[in-house]
Structure 1
Amino acid sequence: MIILTRKDLDELLKAEIAVSSVKEAFKLHYQKKVDQPQRLVMSVKGNWWGLMPSSTDYSFVTKIVNVIPENKERGLPLVQGVVILMSPDTGEILAIIDGTTLTAIRTAAASILSTELAINGRNIGILGIIGAGTEAYYHAKLALEYFKVQKLYISARKSHFELAKRVGGEATDLETLLKNSDTIFATTSSNFPVVLGKYLKDVFHLSSIGAHTPDSRELDDDTIIKVKSYIVDSLEAVSKESGDYIIPKQRGLLENKMIKELGEIIEKGIKIERPSLFKTVGIAVEDNITAHIAYQEALRRGIGFNVSI
């Protein structure tokens, strides 16, 4: 058994590998080649916790993950987690993996994949990232590795100056970011909309990874109205978990839009018409395949700390 740390994952899961991993994950999900029960969600001391098991021909994976807003004040990532990778054949524990970093990398990779499919290429113009936490950092890091970016804007309530300096972007206010960005990654823990449609360009692609509870929103109604293509990781998941899907659907705002899962778009080569939105709450198969690929790469390259139990 090996232990893979944040540093190990940064080395193993470069943008090309990470995006390829989640692409395979979404294909398997669409092809129904993954056993993926709905995640168990609990409230622990008022905070969101999730248990996410999944099984493929490659591996069995369980992730324990949480979102702790108070961690901002503690200087810790909002999202904490651990991933356990096991053999589906022998039941052996193969790896224990830093779930915080794996989650951030596979989520950023999914945003990047949706963007590449939406624009049909890698020249994404001006990129705006809303948020300044761990997810925002990995969205910036992987996007700059993967895409040709004309300019990178970062906006948040605080810490965006530090993140902008770290990744080579420009800290700005939210309105400027929304008005000027061709591609937007919303990576916040906000319960209220931060993406305001009145400021958005006529043509854009947006990936929203926040608002993972039925009553929370990261996008306002004006944004939803503008969108022509509404892409999701899992229709079942967003229909039960995200206010950015549930509330607009209740209000009749999703009528006459193309609504598709990312896996179907990949499998069938469906064209995405912009303005487009990718709404993701995260599904277990992303962790499964990304963990499996990281483990295989670690064995090949001799990375990770070997332990026996």
Structure 2
Amino acid sequence: MLVLAERDLTGLISPLETIAAVEAALRAQASGALAAPQRLHLDWDDNSLLTMPAAAAGGVGVKVVSVVPGNKDRHLPVTSGVMILNDRNTGAPLALLNAAALTAQRTGAVGALGAKYLSPAQTASVGIIGCGVQGAWQAIYTCAVRPIEEVFAYARSQAAFDRFAATVGRHAPGVRITACGSVRALLDRTDLVIAATTSTEPVLPDEPALLQNKHFISVGSFRPAMQELPDSIYRLAGSLAVDSEHARHEAGDVINALRRNILSDGNVFSIAECVTGERDIDVARTTVYKTVGSAIYDLFVAFELYAAARRRGLGREVTL
């Protein structure tokens, strides 16, 4: 079995290759060529343990991840865990991957679908609210699908912004990175906004005049009690793209919009419809996309990483 640590996985494949793997997963899902049951949440205090199995033609696997928001104050990763890949025919374990590195890149790719399909092709800037690890990867992957010249960021501290700027700068050289003193200042300077926080309340003001004809991506909220984006965004958009049907039951952004009759079930659609060409989006008006992740993305991206590691002789072989 091949063990792949964070140092092996970071930068192993390009953002465009990762995005292509995510799109391949969505096409396979649309054709019914894979299986991915709803992930299991085990919650304690403010923390969660998630297990996410999936099977496709190329193999099977399961990701086991802990999410501990309080780790920020301990100077530890908020998200940690492992991804296990198994041979489809024999069931034998093929690889053990660092889940934090996999998740960061995979989630960056899934979020980038919102920029690719729900924003104008000429979009030259993006605003990031929440400058943790995931905020940085959202910026990096957005730069891969849009001609981004400037990244605007709203962080809780100067230290968080500095870490964010350093990470984005390494992976997207030449892009200007600018700190904003408030979310209002960020909204004034860009039309593409990505929220990557663990907030239980909207991180943007619920004011239609500030939100009209902009494009919003929420990647942070993953529990029913969490809502990153204000209700006005859903009213303005009139529809909502999601990366997974699980979002209807897991994310407060989707649950609340449906419960409050801001949106109907028919107004919530899968981003797969954009990937397969079944749906065209009017990007001249307000758009919104909610991602909660799915085991299918982990599986497809993990196998791409595994194949690339084998080609390059990376990782460490172990016998169980």
The normalised TM-score by structure 1 is 0.93
**Matching residue's letter, 2:123:** I
> Are the counterparts in 2 of residues 124 and 150 from structure 1 also a CA contact under 8 Å?
no
> Are the counterparts in 1 of residues 46 and 69 from structure 2 also a CA contact under 8 Å?
no
State the distance in 2 between where 1:278 and 1:102 align.
21
State the distance in 1 between where 2:291 and 2:107 align.
8
What is residue 193 of structure 1 aligned with on the other side? 202
State the distance in 1 between where 2:243 and 2:145 align.
20
Structure 2 runs not aligned, ≥5 long: 170-176
**Matching residue's letter, 1:292:** F
Aligned counterpart in structure 2 of residue 170 of structure 1, from 153, 175, 178 = 178
Out of 64-73 and 175-184, give the one that drifted further: 175-184
1:250 corresponds to 2:249 = no
Name the CA shift for 1:176/1:163 in 2 (closer, same or farther; >3 Å).
farther
State the distance in 2 between where 1:124 and 1:25 align.
26
State the distance in 1 between where 2:123 and 2:94 align.
38
Query: Any residues of structure 2 matched to 1:206-225 within 5 Å, and which?
Result: 206-225=216-235
What is residue 155 of structure 2 aligned with on the other side? 156
Query: Any residues of structure 2 matched to 1:110-121 within 5 Å, and which?
Result: 110-119=110-119, 121=121
Out of 112-121 and 175-184, give the one that drifted further: 112-121
Q: Deviations for 1:202-227, whole angstroms, at most 9, x for unmatched residues?
A: 32221101221112110111122122
State the distance in 2 between where 1:44 and 1:256 align.
31
Equivalent residue pairs, number: 307
What is residue 312 of structure 2 aligned with on the other side? 301
1:184 corresponds to 2:182 = no
Structure 1 runs not aligned, ≥5 long: none
State the shift of 1:268 in Å.
Answer: 3.2
State the distance in 2 between where 1:255 and 1:14 align.
37
> Are the counterparts in 1 of residues 133 and 164 from structure 2 also a CA contact under 8 Å?
no
Aligned counterpart in structure 2 of residue 277 of structure 1, from 280, 288, 292 = 288
Query: Any residues of structure 2 matched to 1:1-309 within 5 Å, and which?
Result: 1-119=1-119, 121=121, 123-158=122-157, 159-166=159-166, 167-168=168-169, 169-172=177-180, 173-198=182-207, 200-235=210-245, 237-255=246-264, 258-274=267-283, 275-309=286-320
1:128 partner SS: strand
Name the CA shift for 1:201/1:179 in 2 (closer, same or farther; >3 Å).
farther
1:149 partner SS: coil
